[in-house]
Each structure stands twice: as C-alpha cells, then as structure tokens.
A and B are shown apart, each in its own frame.
Chain A
C-alpha cells in the first residue's frame, strides 16, 4: 500500500505544487524516486513528530496541502494534541499518513502495533479517517484526501486484500464499496485485513453461506446507508478490523445501527478484544493468534449464524 500511496502522491505533486510530503525520518528507499522528481516538495522533519505535525499545520495555513508520514503510532498518538489543537481546530489541510496499521510491524513489538489509532482519530472533530483495503483503494484514497478540505488520516497496511476495482469505478470518501453480494450475512471490513475476510467468505460459500462484503474504507464519515441496508437485507452484521474492538469500526457500525433503531438478527465485532500483545510475530502469525485470520473469522461467523437459527 505504501508504494501505491507514494506513486499516486508523486503524480499529484506534479500537477499540484502546493502538495508537500513531510516525513518523520522514515521511509528508507521509498521516497527516492519522489525526491528525485519533486525535491522541492519533500521535507524530512527528523525524528520529531510533534514538530512535523506543527510545521505541517503552519505550512497548510499558508496554502500548502501538507502530508505527514511515519509508521505505526508515531504520526498519530505521539503527536495527538498537535493533530487536535493545531491541525484539526484550524481546519488545516494536513494529511496524516501512517504505514503499518494493526500488526503490519508485528515482530517489532507493541510500540509498533497500531491497534487503537482508528478509534482515537475517529473521535477528533472534523477529521476524515480512511483505511483502505486494497491497492486501488489506497491509491484513490491518496488523491481523495488531498482534495478533501481539512485534516485527514490515512492508515495504510503492509498487507492488502483484493479490492476488486474494475477500473471504471469512482472512489468516494464516505461511501462503502460492495465487494461481494450475499444474502445470509454481511461482513463490514476496514483495512488490509480485507484479505482474510475474502478467505472467510470463500470458506463460508463452500458451506452454502453467502456473505456480503462491504469495504468500509472511510471510517469517518461512515456510510450509514450501506450499514442499515446490510442489516435489513442480510440480517446479520459482522465487523472485522485489525484494531481494538473498542471504538473503531465495530463501535462505529454499532452506533449507526442503534442510532437508527436497526436491529440485525445477529451482530458481532471481530478485532482485538483485550490487552496489549507482548507476543510478537509476523502479521499472519498474530492474526492467527488473535483469531483474525480467514478461517477463524469464518468459524465465528458460522457460529454466530448457527446460534441465530
């Protein structure tokens, strides 16, 4: 996803001189091509995420579209107050980009597990929060947040799912994408864990369970209509995120359902349920360990639907 982001940003920067990319001293090798072509639209703020965000705000207030870039929790939690007071309160065109959602950097330890960022960023007034599921969504989201006024957060995963873009579709912030039609249940998913959801849906399909898949690439503003339709039309709603189940996608979907008086026959949030993971490992390993791999997701959906009958 990182490469899809930087390729699209380079195209954007070529057309739009107000675009500037500010990194917190991360992205070794990733920006070489971008820097060669757009040296004047690149800055390394050093290992100083607070200042990276403050200076991005200052430049944005003077007309720039300032992208900040780092990994995991560094461009978000480390400088949260700068995002809140400086960027968001001033409606500044700061676009925060983090590579390494969830367990992307699983082996590096809990400092590098980005597992609460969506909930926290979603709570900030005025922020647009985007977490693409595939390469096409990542690329399109890059352009979309550049055009979206105000402060935005783009969470990129190392992994990605098949986002099924056929080349004719328009990417719209706040509009979920229907990736697979189904009648027995809906899985609403955000981020690269989409890959596991597709595996789960394939598994369930072999058993005769038809799963609708909604890629909720935009967490805020969320696509309420798609969620309500899913509850109405498929009965069961399951959310999947590589993130705590508290306050992220699962929380957002539950809010929409209850706020509208919608009562799906069954509802389940799949994500990280408690505690930090002091255990390390590859993204695949940690997904299996915490029940976020395709087979585990399929098992939980199966169990949910069997309870319902």
Chain B
C-alpha cells in the first residue's frame, strides 16, 4: 500500500495537534517530530502490513518505543485504515482505549504498548530473533527518541542485537536534540552518537528525518551492513510543521488551545 506520504504526514500532524488539544495532553512536539518518519514507513511502502488483518504473520513489526508520541501512531494507523478516524476523537478521554502513551489493547495495528522509555528495542530484539528463526523475511522497526537513549536497557539490547547479528532489526532514532527539560547536549550528551552505534557493531545511516525522498532512499537499502542490525539516525526538529512549536522544550508539555490551536491548524493546512 502506498500513499502520498507528504499529504499523509500533514494529516498526521493535524490529527496530532487536534488530539492533544482536545485531550489537553502533552507531547505534541514529540508527535510532530516523527510524522514524516511514520508517513514514509506506513505510506511509502516500506512496512509490509495488511490493515484488514492486523495480526497477519507476514507483516513487518513496528514498535513505537517513545510511547509518549502515541497520538502520531494512532493517527497514522487510522489514516491507513486500521480503524476509523472517528476513534481519534477519543484520545485521552475518560474510558478510552487511546491512552496518552501508546497501548495495544483494543487498538488494531499497535504492536506493543509502551510509555516507560527503554522497553521497545529489547522487545523488538526478541521479535527479530524469533522472526529470523522462522526465516520468512519479516523485519522489526523500532522508533526511539534521543532522550530515551539515556536508558541503559537500550544499550543491553543494542549489544545483544549486534552479537546475534540481527540484520532484520532496524532502530530509528528521532534525534530532535531536545528532551523534556533541556537540550540533549545539556542533559546527557549523546555525541559522538553515530560512532557509539558503530562501536557497538551496528550499521549506521544518518538522514534528514523530514526529507521524504531521503528517508525512502535510506529505508530502501536495509540492512546497511550485512549481518548487522541497522540504525537510522534521523535528524529532526521537535514540533516540526508548526513554526512556533519548533525547537522549543515548551511544546514538549504545552497544549495548543484557542488562538494557538487556530494558528497551528492554519499552518498545517498549507500544502
């Protein structure tokens, strides 16, 4: 299934802004940051899936490890037809299945529930190992945040994946350089980031995480190194697509309401 990925990304951004606004929830900046990555993976024919059969064994697995950006994943799945768009209105509402952090219960297409950081990659490692043993070619994609790489559990998984040569495993890091309170560089510096992954025996590729052609090209040549897991370090802008939300820690937690909401949606209407 392929779609116009740029249009898809724009709709995912609009949904994310509306969902977080209606719910009064945080993390709109984190959702906007990954909209292009999700659009290329789901709409650009990279991930194999069957929206009518979410548990189809032949599917590629996608795990959002940075669960706080769940709004963007729910929006993407709804746009791809896993469930109705009207369900997005329930995000963050009383009695809803659509939690602030992504949850699989009652939500077709969500592979893993996350929310506490540093869990998705390790579970993805187990899936990748199991799937490789089956030998049917399924891949596992895990989308992490940069701040999430502070979690030691990730580095346990990173070592294991390389040791077991899991070349059907792909980590994508949303490297927007901002974490919850301050820039990554002022919190726990990740640099030299690509070198770290290389030193752990991963194949590494850096890319502009908002450039659809570049993302498509990069995802098209996985694995980057034979017999090694791959990491795509996607350089991104937190809050991308809404000028006043871009590159500011404020919009990690703030919710767009009233005139801010109108301004955001107006900007996201532009083709």
Contact = CB atoms under 8 A, between A and B. Distances in A.
Interface of A: 45-46, 48, 50-51, 53-64, 66, 81-82, 85-86, 89-90
B156 A48 contact: yes
B124 A58 contact: yes
Interface stretch (B68-76, B114-122, B197-205, B243-251): B114-122
B122 A82 contact: yes
B153 interface: yes
A51 B122 contact: yes
A20 B118 CA distance: 24
Nearest to A54: B122
A46 to B, nearest CB: 7
Contacts of B153: 50-51, 54, 82
5 contacts: A48-B156, A48-B160, A50-B118, A51-B159, A86-B119
Considering residues A58, A64, A66, which has the most beta carbons from chain B within 10 angstroms of its beta carbon?
Answer: A58
B157 A55 contact: yes
Given A46-B159, A48-B159, A54 B130 contact: no
B256 interface: no
Contacts of A45: 160
A85 to B, nearest CB: 6
Contact of B126 (A46, A50, A61): A61
B116 A81 contact: yes
Nearest to A45: B160
Given A58-B123, A86-B119, A51 B157 contact: yes
A19 to B, nearest CB: 13
A48 B113 CA distance: 22
A224 B98 CA distance: 37
Interface string B54-98: 000000000000000000000000000000000000000000000
Interface of B: 104, 112-116, 118-119, 121-131, 134, 152-153, 156-157, 159-160, 163
A90 B112 contact: yes
Given A54-B119, A58-B125, 16 more contacts: A46-B160, A46-B163, A51-B122, A51-B156, A51-B157, A54-B122, A54-B126, A54-B153, A55-B129, A57-B126, A58-B122, A58-B123, A62-B127, A62-B130, A66-B126, A82-B153
A53 B118 CA distance: 12
A54 B127 contact: no
B116 A58 contact: no
Contact of A61 (B114, B127, B134, B157): B127
A57 B120 CA distance: 11
Most buried by A among B114, B128, B160, B163: B160
Contact of A85 (B119, B125, B130): B119
A309 B234 CA distance: 76
B160 A62 contact: no
A90 B123 CA distance: 11
Nearest to B105: A89
B99 to A, nearest CB: 12
B104 to A, nearest CB: 7
B119 to A, nearest CB: 6
A50 B113 contact: no
A218 to B, nearest CB: 26
Which of A48, A55, A64, A66 has the most chain B CB atoms inside 10 A of its CB? A55
B260 to A, nearest CB: 33
Contacts of B104: 90
With a 10 A CB-CB cut-off, give which of A51, A57, A60, A90 has the most chain B CB atoms: A51
Nearest to B131: A62
B123 A54 contact: yes
Nearest to A62: B130
Given A46-B160, A51-B160, A58 B130 contact: yes
Contacts of A64: 130
* Interface core residue of A61, A62, A89 (most chain B CB under 10 Å): A62
